[in-house]
Chains A and B, each alone.
Chain A
């Protein structure tokens, strides 16, 4: 009985933890940080183009984030129509895509200096440089350094240090 009372007491609303970020807002924040810790091959870019495919909510979250972050470089977020258009991206997030869809986007940008981020295990295994994958409780990221370097991208030591896995 005493245990039940304690349990009921602990079920009462707690206001100590303010509402946090949604999963897509978190992904957008990660994406922004990834861009800050990555270096693209020359020539220097005039504009930072973030591309998001497969997830309109993530697109909106990135758009909102970019509008609040001061940046020396002009930046925008787009949803490419096809993989050819995706070659214009600096950073491509393929979100919630199955194996065939992931392969389509990855094949389309395979010779381009595009930092590809995937949020599925399949996308990361198929060639995304960064896998931003959820476990039950939080988001973690893994890095495929070989793929990133093959595209001429350099990822900072800080990023490599915090990745769950570097392949």
Chain B
């Protein structure tokens, strides 16, 4: 949709001469000179609203950002958001926010939504964001990130923020679209998508993609150079199928992803051909109905069913030198039903009332050795529900108040999550937001199951109280800024012991931080977005919390060069030193450079280099304490072809 830059430029010139009006396709492709005052956001208030009405700051990455900055994975996208950090151990992508992102966290403290459907799974509350994610990033229309606690609307998991990933429609995809992404290390990503928009406006698309990675370089320093010969056993392949159909207010989504990962665990067993296998199979089916019932009432109904099976098979050498294997399975099946009513019939009030249900059909963990020496199994199922109410009260033309309260019930506990927001329009260009939120997360099935199995104390849920103040400032039509100062008290953070697979509720943690950013746009098509997050998260035991950098800086810049359809982009990320229980990880600044050429409506070509300076970046992602190399220098080429008669 937004990829006709060259054509748009030609037509722009024509229009300014006052003679020829661009056609609709060209108008849709026209980049905005100004930074719009109002965009649509959905994640902050759990309904579509203008950003100027929203009581929270929401950051957005659009499909055009994904194209122009050549963002090729969810990790690339998430790394653009202020205050977010990502770490990849080769099997799992970990996301940290607001100072919380410790080894062995599985993204359970951020709520992830796909077109409004909750996608945190039901065993670890984990969000699967690597190659086991449901959607290819080229099919994403936009990603919204609302930082801060939001449990008053969303319940469990919305401690540190909500991220909603919204997919495209066939109008943005075309009748047929194919893409091929290659890296100099031989990684391949192929996709074919077919779309159809009927004359009645019904919209359907289907997509199939495959990712293959062979001879993956080991993410750590080899003890013996000869070990490099086993890189051919370090492999990954992933297949995704995605389907979308929209008809009026009805929207059906289906997605499935099958991922196989294997790698030799050097040093674990003498025979390196006995590899570790990590497989993940996930699916979701979701149906939503979103419509206006009366001039004053909107209704939203949603039902979805989900499944995720994660299996891991690890070779183990027994004391008698025989080889055994430990196979573990995390298997979850669950269904969600959400409903909400929006009523704006009362002068200056907007009411939102909703009910969420989650039925866990299966929460199974099973670990056993093939020899039968080890066996651990626990299973559960249950019903969770939450009821919430929100009133957005426009007290005066420049003052709005938003109150929300949610009650959640699970088989283990009940929680109340309140929220209070005040929005004050200081003047036409400045908006002040004050927010207080409480949020919680119940212990997930692994945490509570392990403690039960090993007779460790029962875990309570963790909770967070966050107070924050934000200022959005519009300095000119092409220059904006935001700044947020927050303070959080975190109680009973669920933490894994370093030396045993059991968990405890940690002593109180305090988190203080500042997030700030600027956006600037020039008339020649140049864009600059820069953000800085300063955070300090400390607990009474260790001082600074593990993997919590004090500074996170991000910068993205793009501009057309030489010709209007050729766009250069520059991405920079800087992270300060992190302290982990195993030592210090040095800070770094890395740069990615890209060139994107869109010669016509049907073709995009992108060439890029990740981590141009080949800066050595290491992160500790799990309790083994072994640092994993992140994002080494990599050249990549992407071709996207589109047919839209």
Tell me the minimal C-beta distance from B299 to chain A in angstroms.
12
Which listed residue (B19, B53, B562) contacts A16, Cβ 8 A? B562
B29 touches A163 (CB 8 A): no
Q: Which of B9, B50, B477, B613 has the most CB of A within 10 A?
A: B50
A10-B570, A33-B24, A134-B39 known; A103-B524 Cβ under 8 A = no
Task: State whether the Cβ of A51 lies closer than 8 Å to any Cβ in chain B.
Answer: no
Which B residues lie within 8 Å of A159 (CB)? 24
Task: State whether the Cβ of B631 lies closer than 8 Å to any Cβ in chain A.
Answer: no
A145 to B202, CA, bound (A): 11
Encoded as 1 (CB less than 8 Å from any A CB) or 0, chain B from 18 to 41 comes to 110111110111111111111110
Tell me the minimal C-beta distance from B21 to chain A in angstroms.
6
A29 touches B21 (CB 8 A): yes
B142 touches A135 (CB 8 A): yes
Tell me the minimal C-beta distance from A77 to chain B in angstroms.
15
Tell me the minimal C-beta distance from B601 to chain A in angstroms.
12
Tell me the minimal C-beta distance from A31 to chain B in angstroms.
10
Stretch at the interface among A39-47, A78-86, A94-102: A94-102
Which chain B residue has the least Cβ–Cβ distance from A159? B24
Q: Which of B33, B60, B249 has the most CB of A within 10 A?
A: B33
A19-B33, A134-B38, A167-B249 known; A98-B53 Cβ under 8 A = yes
Task: State whether the Cβ of A60 lies closer than 8 Å to any Cβ in chain B.
Answer: no
Which chain A residue has the least Cβ–Cβ distance from B526? A14
B21 touches A166 (CB 8 A): no
Which listed residue (B60, B202, B295, B477) contacts A107, Cβ 8 A? B295
A136 touches B31 (CB 8 A): no
Tell me the minimal C-beta distance from A21 to chain B in angstroms.
6
Which B residues lie within 8 Å of A3 (CB)? 591, 612-613
Task: State whether the Cβ of B560 lies closer than 8 Å to any Cβ in chain A.
Answer: yes
Which A residues lie within 8 Å of B292 (CB)? 125-127
Tell me the minimal C-beta distance from A68 to chain B in angstroms.
4
Task: State whether the Cβ of A48 lies closer than 8 Å to any Cβ in chain B.
Answer: no
Tell me the minimal C-beta distance from B328 to chain A in angstroms.
43
Task: State whether the Cβ of A111 lies closer than 8 Å to any Cβ in chain B.
Answer: no
Stretch at the interface among B92-100, B306-314, B343-351: B343-351
A121 touches B49 (CB 8 A): yes
Task: State whether the Cβ of B630 lies closer than 8 Å to any Cβ in chain A.
Answer: no
A33 to B26, CA, bound (A): 11
The A3-30 residues at the B interface (CB cut-off 8 A) are 3, 7, 10, 13-23, 25-26, 29-30
A20 touches B12 (CB 8 A): yes
Task: State whether the Cβ of B65 lies closer than 8 Å to any Cβ in chain A.
Answer: yes
Which B residues lie within 8 Å of A33 (CB)? 21, 23-24, 27
A116 to B338, CA, bound (A): 31
A162 touches B199 (CB 8 A): no
Which A residues lie within 8 Å of B197 (CB)? 160-161, 166
Task: State whether the Cβ of B265 lies closer than 8 Å to any Cβ in chain A.
Answer: no
A3-B612, A121-B49 known; A167-B248 Cβ under 8 A = yes
Which B residues lie within 8 Å of A30 (CB)? 24, 27
Task: State whether the Cβ of B130 lies closer than 8 Å to any Cβ in chain A.
Answer: no
B12 touches A18 (CB 8 A): yes
Task: State whether the Cβ of B179 lies closer than 8 Å to any Cβ in chain A.
Answer: no
A107 to B345, CA, bound (A): 12
Task: State whether the Cβ of B203 lies closer than 8 Å to any Cβ in chain A.
Answer: yes
Which chain A residue has the least Cβ–Cβ distance from B528? A11
Tell me the minimal C-beta distance from B348 to chain A in angstroms.
7
Interface size class of A (residues with CB under 8 A): 35 or more
Task: State whether the Cβ of B561 lies closer than 8 Å to any Cβ in chain A.
Answer: yes
A18 to B17, CA, bound (A): 12
Task: State whether the Cβ of B171 lies closer than 8 Å to any Cβ in chain A.
Answer: yes
A165 touches B169 (CB 8 A): yes
Tell me the minimal C-beta distance from A22 to chain B in angstroms.
6
Task: State whether the Cβ of B13 lies closer than 8 Å to any Cβ in chain A.
Answer: yes
Which A residues lie within 8 Å of B24 (CB)? 30, 33, 37, 158-159, 162
Tell me the minimal C-beta distance from A28 to chain B in angstroms.
10
A164 touches B172 (CB 8 A): yes
Which listed residue (A29, A134, A139) contacts B15, Cβ 8 A? A29
Which A residues lie within 8 Å of B477 (CB)? 23
Task: State whether the Cβ of B201 lies closer than 8 Å to any Cβ in chain A.
Answer: yes
Tell me the minimal C-beta distance from B618 to chain A in angstroms.
22
A29-B22, A140-B1, A158-B24 known; A103-B344 Cβ under 8 A = yes
Task: State whether the Cβ of A143 lies closer than 8 Å to any Cβ in chain B.
Answer: yes
A136 touches B560 (CB 8 A): no
A137 to B49, CA, bound (A): 18
Which B residues lie within 8 Å of A140 (CB)? 1, 28
Task: State whether the Cβ of A73 lies closer than 8 Å to any Cβ in chain B.
Answer: no
A126 touches B524 (CB 8 A): no
Tell me the minimal C-beta distance from B157 to chain A in angstroms.
25
A135-B62, A138-B31 known; A125-B298 Cβ under 8 A = yes
A135-B60, A137-B31 known; A69-B21 Cβ under 8 A = yes
Which listed residue (A25, A126, A165) contacts B246, Cβ 8 A? A165
Encoded as 1 (CB less than 8 Å from any B CB) or 0, chain A from 93 to 137 comes to 000101110010011001000000001111001110000011111
Q: Which of B30, B35, B49 has the most CB of A within 10 A?
A: B30
A17 touches B50 (CB 8 A): no
A133 touches B171 (CB 8 A): no
The B40-62 residues at the A interface (CB cut-off 8 A) are 40, 48-50, 53, 60, 62
A30 to B591, CA, bound (A): 39
A21 to B336, CA, bound (A): 45
A21 touches B12 (CB 8 A): yes
Tell me the minimal C-beta distance from B585 to chain A in angstroms.
23
Which listed residue (A21, A69, A100, A125) contacts B30, Cβ 8 A? A21
Tell me the minimal C-beta distance from B296 to chain A in angstroms.
8
B570 touches A7 (CB 8 A): yes
B34 touches A119 (CB 8 A): no
A136-B35, A146-B248, A167-B249 known; A16-B30 Cβ under 8 A = no
B525 touches A17 (CB 8 A): yes
Tell me the minimal C-beta distance from A73 to chain B in angstroms.
15
Known: A145-B201, A160-B201; 8 extra A-B contacts, CB below 8 A, are A14-B560, A20-B12, A26-B32, A96-B37, A99-B53, A126-B344, A158-B24, A160-B199
What are the nearest 3 A-B pairs in CB distance?
A: A166-B201, A134-B36, A68-B18
11 A-B pairs in the complex with CB atoms less than 8 angstroms apart: A10-B561, A37-B24, A121-B38, A121-B40, A121-B50, A125-B298, A126-B344, A135-B62, A135-B64, A141-B28, A160-B201
